[in-house]
Amino acid sequence: MPVPAALRPHLRKMLRGTLGLAIGSATAFAEFFYVLLGGAALAVPALRPPVFAGARVLSEVERRRLEKYLGAENATDYTGRRAMAYLVARAIVGLLGAGIFLLILFGAGSGAVVIYQLLDGRSPGGEAPANWYDFVTTGLFGALLIFLSLQGLIGIAALERRLARRFFGPSKQEQLRRRVSELATSRAEVVEAVNDERRRIERDLHDGVQQRLVALGMLLGRARRTGDPDHASDLLRQAHEESQRALNDLREVSWRVYPIALDTDGLHPALEALAERSDVPVHLRVDLPERPTAAIETVVYFVASESVTNTIKHAAATRIDIEAERDGDRVRVRITDDGVGGAKESGGGLSGLARRVAAADGEFTVDSPIGGPTVVTAVLPCE
């Protein structure tokens, strides 16, 4: 029976993690003996540097194993002394994992024997004919053992990650370096986001309002030059209509620059106004018990607004769903449409949103397979 496509990534992740734990169980024996011999050698001061160097080599093997198979990324700026301390704890956890794998193998062999006996018409142990309850009790007992084995492996994986974070965790210097790098990146994202906004506003004014005003000026000029009162009246009527359209375009631009509803009423009314102005039906769900800060509300609104605009222009969708909710100490906004899909985060509008979200220390993702649906998600800290 083929595995459903949705489960394949989870199955691969589970198998990869199990393989990583099995490799760790094997290396635990070498680490155990190294700890015993190296711990004795530490009594000689001259042997301490090579012992710590060897401990670092073994720790690097473990760090890379955890990164490759368990997805646990850790810093490399740890000392040989910390590496030796890590190996002491890691050897114990690894041997415990080895014991679990041995129990799994023993249980699998015993289970195969029991199943063979039951299929052969004998009870477990083979001393009496099998009864119906032998199948039930064997099945329940086997399911319990499988559950305990899986829980044991999950627990070992959690201990592996925790130990690595404890001993391979970044030093204060590394933390400072990372923070400086994050701030430099964030500053660059802010500058780029501002430049994007300026270009968008200039484009909206040039392509919309400016063209309307030029047409309005031409109509008024023609009305002044004509000597026919009826023609002048018709031109003035057209000029009046053009002025109304220019005013609507100007309101649209000002709304896109910054909707005043965010300041006066908050995020929910602003999103409701966005949904009312959309040409595609928008279904809105907002669950924010407490109002976020103005900066976060602004980012959430523009993520929703730009996503709706992109959907209307490119996705040929018939429905848009906007969900904004509190997720612990974060605000999550998700925009889903049933369009043709194929949107990319590197696209013009979405890349600008990604920079805007990054400037607020948030996370931005786009999931848009060909054929749809498209899901745009932004997660922003609200503290």
Q: In this model, does residue 23 exceed pLDDT 90?
A: yes
Q: In this model, does residue 255 exceed pLDDT 70?
A: no
Among residues 222, 257, 292, which one ends one of the domains? 257
Residue 336 included in any domain: yes
Distance, CA of 114 to CA of 106 (rounded, Å): 12
CATH of the domain at 347: 3.30.565.10
Answer positive or negative: Cα dihedral of 108, 110, 116, 118: negative
Residue 124 included in any domain: yes
Q: What is the pLDDT of residue 219?
A: 80
Q: 274 with 282: CB under 8 angstroms? A: yes
| Domain range for 210 | 175-257
Q: What is the pLDDT of residue 117?
A: 81
Show Cβ contacts of residue 322 under 8 Å, excluding neighbours closer than 6 positions: 271, 274, 275, 282, 283, 284, 285, 304, 308, 333, 334, 335
Q: At 327, phi and psi to the nearest 5?
A: -130, 85
- Residue 226, Ramachandran bin (φ over 0: left; ψ between -120 and 50: alpha; else beta): beta
Residue 2 included in any domain: no
The reply to whether 289 and 320 lie within a common domain is yes
Distance, CA of 178 to CA of 283 (rounded, Å): 40
Q: What are the tokens at 372?
A: 């749809």
The reply to whether 190 and 278 lie within a common domain is no
Among residues 118, 138, 169, which one ends one of the domains? 169
Q: In this model, does residue 375 exceed pLDDT 80?
A: yes
The reply to whether 345 and 315 lie within a common domain is yes
Distance, CA of 179 to CA of 52 (rounded, Å): 29
Residue 3 included in any domain: no
Residue 71 included in any domain: yes
Helices assigned H by DSSP within 169-259? 172-204, 210-225, 229-257
The reply to whether 150 and 38 lie within a common domain is yes
Distance, CA of 305 to CA of 322 (rounded, Å): 10
Show Cβ contacts of residue 257 under 8 Å, excluding neighbours closer than 6 positions: 197, 201
Among residues 236, 257, 278, which one ends one of the domains? 257
Q: In this model, does residue 263 exceed pLDDT 60?
A: yes
Confidence grade of residue 256 (pLDDT, cut at 50, 70, 90): low
The reply to whether 292 and 323 lie within a common domain is yes
Closest CA to 369 of 344, 352, 346, 350: 344
Residue 1 included in any domain: no
Residue 191 included in any domain: yes
The reply to whether 278 and 331 lie within a common domain is yes
Q: In this model, does residue 125 exceed pLDDT 80?
A: no
The reply to whether 253 and 265 lie within a common domain is no
Distance, CA of 90 to CA of 164 (rounded, Å): 9
HSE, CB side, 13 Å, CA atoms: give it for residue 215.
17
The reply to whether 374 and 277 lie within a common domain is yes
Q: How many other C-beta atoms are found inside a 10 Å radius of the C-beta of residue 256?
A: 16
- How many distinct helices (H) and strands (E) make up the chain? 11, 5
Sheet holding 363-367, edge to edge: 282-287, 320-327, 330-337, 374-381, 363-367
Closest CA to 335 of 357, 35, 227: 357
Q: What is the pLDDT of residue 157?
A: 92
Q: What are the tokens at 21?
A: 């734990």
Provide the percentage of residues in the chain whose pLDDT is more than 90.
17
Q: What is the pLDDT of residue 164?
A: 87
pLDDT digits (tens, 9 = 90+) for 274-288: 888 888 888 888 888
pLDDT digits (tens, 9 = 90+) for 209-229: 778 888 888 888 888 888 778
| DSSP code for 331 | E
Q: 288 with 246: CB under 8 angstroms? A: no
The reply to whether 41 and 137 lie within a common domain is yes
Q: What is the pLDDT of residue 11?
A: 82
Average pLDDT value for the chain:
83
What is the total count of domains within the chain?
Answer: 3
The reply to whether 117 and 12 lie within a common domain is yes
Top pLDDT among 74 and 256 is at: 74
The reply to whether 57 and 37 lie within a common domain is yes
Distance, CA of 324 to CA of 282 (rounded, Å): 13
* pTM of this structure: 0.53
Distance, CA of 299 to CA of 183 (rounded, Å): 18
pLDDT digits (tens, 9 = 90+) for 132-188: 777 888 888 888 988 998 899 999 999 999 998 888 876 667 677 777 777 777 677
Top pLDDT among 112 and 248 is at: 112
Confidence grade of residue 194 (pLDDT, cut at 50, 70, 90): low
Distance, CA of 206 to CA of 194 (rounded, Å): 18
Residue 286 included in any domain: yes
The reply to whether 199 and 267 lie within a common domain is no
